[in-house]
Amino acid sequence: MVKLRLDRFFFTVLAVPLDFLAVIFAGFVAWALRFSPWVQTLRPVAFGLAFSEYLALIFVAALFTVAAIATTGLYRFPHSEIGRIGAAARIALSTSATLAAAAFAIFFRQELFDSRFLVLATWILGTAFIIGERSVVALFEDFLTKRFGIGLRKALVIGGDTVTDQLIRALERNPAFGMRIAKRLSEPDLEEVAVSLGNPGIEAIVLANPDYPRERIVELVDFAQERRLAFWFVPNLFQTLTANARADLIGGIPVVELRRTALDGWGRVFKRTLDIAGAFVLLVLCAPLMALIALAVKLEDPQGPVIYRNRRAGEHGKFFDTLKFRSMYWKHSTGLGAPDPEGAITFERELARRQSVRKGPVWKILNDPRRTRVGRFLEHTSLDELPQLFNVFLGEMSLVGPRPHMLEQVAEYEKRHRRVLDIKPGITGVAQISGRSDLDFDEEVRLDTYYIEHWSLWLDLKIIAATPFVVLMRRHRS
């Protein structure tokens, strides 16, 4: 099994020289293009930089790019699961940092050269070549993994609930996690575990259900450590809360501080800046689409307004009115100004009792008869939420965060559920891209708690980038 793990590490090491050579090759191609006849016809060469000097600059740029990529974690081993889109975004960020450094150097040392074509072409080609080279290597690595099992560790999975089923499906679907399920047990019985280890090559134990008695879990951890087995576990809500802790000594006494959220301090400033910029850009880009949606809503049910306003609980339980394209017949609406809100609420609760597909205080009504045809399409594609960009711009919501909370549902929250009120609700979030309304409420709270504790600007960008693909995949499955 050492051989298999070395093979996976080999591809991590190989990425460094390949990325370096990709930038060098991009520089060669950019130089060749700049001195090609058709480019010189459009813009004659006006600088006197020798090729040897240019090559030295490209060498420095390649080193700088590799260093920038290293800071993003793309050379880390074992690999973190960031996905192809996340990796491409980090590569683009790294090459953009090199571009910014080159622009800075050219500005202060104009004797180097002033060919914007060479700088921009090397940047674009370098980004494309690195992404392309890594894609080819990833395909080859996936082939070796699926065909020969290279890089996979045989794992024993322990758990008998739906979370275990979901985890096994994810591990089997994505070989990038480096796990092959060898056997599954429903209980952490040490005798059964010891017998299961007779399966040749098992290197890891995965505890998928965190709610077993603490003593049995401790015994299992000791068992794994004695046999030098990797040990993975799915945390429960309290373990998720304590994952973001800071230890300190006060008068010689060790004290652990549970950080409420990384959004305290500068994190709040960065997130708000992203919200304002993102909401403004998306409102401008989506304005024509929003006009068409408004027309479609009005044509199907002209009685009510196009925009549906409903009271929700936001950050710290503060009330605000969410804005959505109306997806229901106006007579069934429960929002502000509705013709019969009390009757609509009674009907909604009856539907939730009979047709809800979710457990807990937050319901999701299957085959909701109150939806219009346009409304069903809007809800299924999440286009009904586009007006919430105005809520984001006004500071009532964020681009990323927990779902907006209905007042009557918040009243039913248990104490542990109220953690999701610590930050502003979002248009999208970890729970939304992980399972939409198919998640149990407790599972959604666990995901939102993880987001609150582990927030970063990069995590927000990844969630925003993943959201359209999740919506499209859901549409395709339907």
How far, in Å, are 64, 86, 100, 140, 202 from residue 20 at the CA level?
Answer: 9, 20, 18, 19, 37
The upper half-sphere exposure of residue 414, i.e. CA atoms within 13 Å in the direction of its Cβ, equals: 5
pTM of the model: 0.53
Residue 256 pLDDT exceeds 70: no
Domain boundary among 148, 176, 191: 148
* Residue 429 and residue 323 share a domain: yes
* Residue 218 and residue 308 share a domain: no
* Residue 19 and residue 126 share a domain: yes
Q: Give the tens place of pLDDT for each residue, 265-277.
A: 667 888 998 999 9
Residue 123 pLDDT exceeds 80: yes
Phi, psi of 199 (to 5 degrees): -65, 115
How far apart are the C-alpha atoms of 180 and 202, rounded to whole Å? 9
Is the residue at 240 inside a domain?
no
Q: Give the tens place of pLDDT for each residue, 395-450.
A: 999 999 998 888 877 877 877 777 788 889 999 998 888 755 566 778 888 888 88
* Residue 432 and residue 294 share a domain: yes
* Closest C-alpha to 391, from 470, 278, 261: 278
Q: Give the tens place of pLDDT for each residue, 220-251.
A: 888 887 777 778 877 765 555 555 555 544 33
Is the residue at 407 inside a domain?
yes
Most confident of 26-40, 144-158, 272-286, 304-318: 272-286
* Residue 300 and residue 285 share a domain: yes
Tell me the longest C-alpha to C-alpha distance in the chain: 81
Is the residue at 258 inside a domain?
no
Contact 55, 87 (CB under 8 A): no
Question: What percent of the chain is predicted at pLDDT more than 70?
Answer: 78
Residue 366 pLDDT exceeds 70: no
Contact 105, 113 (CB under 8 A): no
* Residue 21 and residue 109 share a domain: yes
Is the residue at 209 inside a domain?
yes
Tokens found for residue 356: 């809800």
How far apart are the C-alpha atoms of 224 and 219, rounded to whole Å? 9
* Residue 66 and residue 14 share a domain: yes
Identity of the amino acid at 133: E
How far apart are the C-alpha atoms of 237 and 211, rounded to whole Å? 10
Output the pLDDT for position 37.
Answer: 78
* Residue 374 and residue 361 share a domain: yes
User: What is the CATH classification number for the domain harbouring 174?
Assistant: 3.40.50.720
Question: What percent of the chain is predicted at pLDDT more than 90?
Answer: 16
Tokens found for residue 107: 């500005």
How far apart are the C-alpha atoms of 229 and 201, rounded to whole Å? 11
Three-state DSSP state, 154: strand
Which residue segment(s) compose the domain that 172 sits in?
Answer: 153-234
How many structural domains are present in the chain? 3
* Residue 94 and residue 15 share a domain: yes
DSSP E strand stretches across 81-192: 153-158, 179-185
* Residue 462 and residue 369 share a domain: yes
DSSP 328: B
* Residue 157 and residue 135 share a domain: no
